[in-house]
Amino acid sequence: MLTRENHSTKQEEGGLIRELSRLMAGDFCNRQQSDADPKDYAHIRIFFRPLPWDFFAGIGFYSEQVYDYDLWNPYRQGIHRLVDKGDRVYIENYSLKEAENYAGSGHNRDILLTIPPDGIERRYNCSMVFVKEDGMFRGSVEPGNKCFVHRKGVKTYLVSQVELTETTWISWDRGMDLTTGEHIWGSAKGPLKFKKRTSFAEELPLL
């Protein structure tokens, strides 16, 4: 277990994690994209809210995606653990066993603090791998096409691409048919383009 005694050593080693987590921590929305093309893009908010240090003995996040008009009813929730891999950062993904109990944690930290560390389950083969390129972070699902999602009665594998800067989060999630590679779900037109409304970087335990 990582103790406070070697906390400062980890701080020195995890430069990419510190930088990536600072950019991730925030409330993002795609209102500009939605206003320009409401037929194809709903107005969505994404929250990445830092978890306390003790949750993972390291950097972790709670996330939720929600329609702007219904902030207490997220359609996607997750827990994420950042792992230092030297020249890249792995983000392990977890589901919440009783997710409905923690809805709203993205914009209400009091609820977030009630999430128990034993109330999550690892989503194996679904880690995101982030590297820093051209002044931004780019992420994608770990190789192998083994992050499975059942949607529309079909078993699909997830293809996910992310670009992250100081002020923007651009993501494109799609589900592909396991056999044919046909596009089954997710935006066919292009990625969702979010802008940061509020930063939660001050809540990060290592900064």
pLDDT band per the 50, 70, 90 thresholds, residue 19: very high
Q: What does residue 14 show for φ and ψ, rounded to 5 degrees?
A: -95, 50
pLDDT at 180: 87
pLDDT at 207: 52
pLDDT band per the 50, 70, 90 thresholds, residue 3: very low
pLDDT surpasses 90 at 192: yes
CB 191 within 8 A of CB 172: yes
Length of the chain: 207
**pLDDT tens readout for residues 110-129:** 999 999 999 999 999 999 99
pLDDT surpasses 60 at 7: no
pLDDT surpasses 50 at 5: no
- Global pTM reads 0.89
Q: What is the mean pLDDT of the chain?
A: 91
CB 95 within 8 A of CB 39: no
**pLDDT tens readout for residues 23-41:** 999 999 999 999 999 999 9
- Give the up-direction half-sphere exposure of residue 15: CA atoms within 13 A in the CB hemisphere: 5
Using the Cα atoms of residue 156, residue 163, residue 56 and residue 110 in order, give the sign of their dihedral. Answer: negative
CB 83 within 8 A of CB 118: no
- Give the up-direction half-sphere exposure of residue 166: CA atoms within 13 A in the CB hemisphere: 2
Element (H, E) at 159: strand 154-164
DSSP string, 30-43: -HHHHHH-TTT---
Which phi-psi region, left, alpha or beta, contains residue 150 (left: φ > 0; alpha: ψ -120 to 50)? Answer: beta
- Of the candidates 49, 56, 55, 45, the one whose C-alpha atom is nearest the C-alpha of residue 90 is 56
pLDDT at 151: 85
- Of the candidates 23, 110, 17, 112, the one whose C-alpha atom is nearest the C-alpha of residue 64 is 112
Helix (H, G, I), strand (E, B), or coil: what is residue 151? Answer: strand
Q: What domains can you pick out in the chain, each with its CATH number?
A: 4-197 (2.40.128.590)
CB 91 within 8 A of CB 83: yes
pLDDT surpasses 50 at 9: no
- Of the candidates 52, 60, 51, 54, the one whose C-alpha atom is nearest the C-alpha of residue 3 is 54
**pLDDT tens readout for residues 52-85:** 999 999 999 999 999 999 999 999 999 999 999 9
Bridge pairing between strands 89-96 and 76-84: antiparallel
